Structure 1
Amino acid sequence: MDEPEVLSHDQGRVLAFARTCPGKQDPNDDSAAVIGTLDGGLVLAVADGVGGAPVGHKASAIAMQCLRDSVASQTASGDLRPLILDGIERANSEILELAIGAATTLTVIEVQDRVARGYQVGDSMALVVGQRGLIKWKSTSHSPVGYAIQSGMMGEDEAMHHDERHYVSNLVGSKSMHIEIGPAVRLAALDTILLASDGLFDNLHLDEVCALARVGPPIKRMRSLVDQSTQRMHSEHGKPDDLSIVMLTP
């Protein structure tokens, strides 16, 4: 994509952007989805097919398709959790049935009546950030480095340059897959939700992401995130990668 796509919804404005890794000839391994629900809610998702694994792009696309089909099966207003969990489980089964070692990360946030809840498999990330930059909720990366950050054993700067930052310990397409469910987060009027593949979070610090994601018109926020992460990818310590971002703003 050359420019972010902007969608209007009862829950706010949704912006989405996707771009293949600079210089990469293979397909983009990322996939993203913005899914409206029967009762006016939203399901936002980003998946990152495992680089180096067979058809990572197909694994991430399967995850989006299974999630969309499951949410679309909703027949009455109510809890989305069973549908989202079922969609992820179906994706895991379908990817395993390929029997070629394909796998993907997956991060999902549902929003209903201004209440958000996240679902996590792998190291794509999601966060809810307030108007003043306070992180109200952040997913935990399912990786040795991610758990080290969460426990306070490793700082963010050290993690971004760690030799094992690419290792992921939980994936859709694994017999041992598990789904982490986040708490319900009541959204204030000016809160922003952001989901992205590691093309963003491996190149920008959290405080940089929060600063860029919360200030200015939504389209300017998204362009700033894309521009800054792309610039960092081309720097000495950057990590060139596919980049996908989905953002919900007031």
Structure 2
Amino acid sequence: MPDPTAPLNVDSTTPVTHGALAPKAFGITDKGRVRPTNEDQFLVAELSKAMRIRQTSLVEPKLHVGEERGHLYLVADGMGGHRAGETASALTVTAIEQFMLNSFKWFFAPDESGVQKVLAEFQAAIGHADAHVMAEAAEHPELSGMGTTVTLAFHLGSQVCLVHVGDSRGYFYRGRELQQVTHDHTLVADLLRSGAIQPEEAARHRYRHIITNVVGGEQVGVKVEAHAFEVKAGDRLLLCSDGLTEMLTNEAIAHVLGTTPDPQEAATALVAQANAAGGRDNVTVLIVRFDEAGST
């Protein structure tokens, strides 16, 4: 996987194709057992080109919707006192929605060139959200320092483009193997990658919750990690906040995905298990299962 500070790139382990897949997605969020409020947000959306006919001499439908459809999935975990985290994550979701509606350039051919352009568009979308959150914090001093993670995936054809900031996570599941796609943008993760500490130290390190890269926050600018990969029927995508991964191991998560194929049932089970393990944080789970078109 690429360095999150490096230029945008495409993971080239598989060729780019144009297979038709039908995603089935479900998201759920819960405040957990300890926190008084929920600062997490999620989004499941479908995008298509549309034309509304106002007047015509022809007898035809008044609304035409393009056959090519994209699918957008997002998880955001806000941070900041006095409900500022909840505000930051909500502002970010809204800003990205508006960017998609008003500024996003549509690409119908998910070849390598198109994928690079899509990733660049989402880098711009997150930059737009960052500016929006920073402007709101500047206008309202009580929100100063508020920030949020963002893990966002866009599916078109057989391609998934994924961009990421913070310590929420994106996972890819195939053949009973769970792979973490994203890096954690935390101080401890940086120390671990540099070899300064060992994995067993990272799990209990007192600075493991210090996030080094967020939308908003105290830093100027945001570094967007980007990936692209091909999916096929049977694959699954998991986006989640750290309220899940702090409570459950990757092995426990993989077991649920392996024994529970339905996204709604699996997401609900993961949230329940995170709460049963202590529920120390808000927990958000979004699961996408990719099926053959026409099989559902």
TM interval, short-chain normalised: 0.7 to 0.9
CA distance in 1 between partners of 2:82 and 2:195 (Å)? 31
2:128 corresponds to: 90
Which of 77, 80, 90 pairs up with 2:107? 77
| 1:122 paired to 2:166 | yes
1:43 corresponds to: 72
Cα deviation, 1:104-156, whole Å, max 9, x if unaligned, reads 11111111112112111111111111122242x51001012223444566565
Which of 5, 16, 32 pairs up with 1:21? 32
Contact 2:78 2:85 in 1 (8 A): yes
Give the alignment of 1:134-173 within 5 angstroms. Answer: 134-135=178-179, 138-150=181-193, 158-173=201-216
Contact 2:247 2:274 in 1 (8 A): yes
Cα distance change of structure 1 residues 81 and 40 upon mapping to structure 2, 3 Å threshold: same
| 1:59 paired to 2:102 | no
Deviation at 1:172, TM superposition (A): 0.4
Cα deviation, 1:29-51, whole Å, max 9, x if unaligned, reads 11111121223121211111114
Q: Structure 2 unaligned runs (5+)? A: 1-20, 49-67, 109-113, 139-143, 291-296
Q: How many residues get paired?
A: 234
2:286 corresponds to: 246
Q: Specify the code of the residue in structure 2 equivalent to 1:169.
A: T
2:267 corresponds to: 222
CA distance in 2 between partners of 1:21 and 1:225 (Å)? 12
Deviation at 1:83, TM superposition (A): 3.3
Cα deviation, 1:14-36, whole Å, max 9, x if unaligned, reads 0110111324333x111111121
Contact 1:117 1:185 in 2 (8 A): yes
Q: Which one is further off, 123-132 or 76-85?
A: 76-85
CA distance in 1 between partners of 2:130 and 2:160 (Å)? 24
CA distance in 2 between partners of 1:130 and 1:249 (Å)? 10
1:237 corresponds to: none
CA distance in 2 between partners of 1:247 and 1:164 (Å)? 29
Deviation at 1:82, TM superposition (A): 3.8
Cα distance change of structure 1 residues 185 and 154 upon mapping to structure 2, 3 Å threshold: farther
TM-score w.r.t. the length of structure 2 is: 0.72
Larger Rg: 2
2:230 corresponds to: 186
Superposed CA RMSD in Å reads: 2.3
1:42 match: secondary structure: strand
2:25 match: secondary structure: strand
Tell me: higher relative CO, structure 1 or 2? Use CA pairs within 8 A at least 6 residues apart: 2
CA distance in 1 between partners of 2:193 and 2:258 (Å)? 23
**How high is the sequence identity, in percent, across the aligned residues?**
24
Cα deviation, 1:207-238, whole Å, max 9, x if unaligned, reads 2212212322313322221121111125xxxx
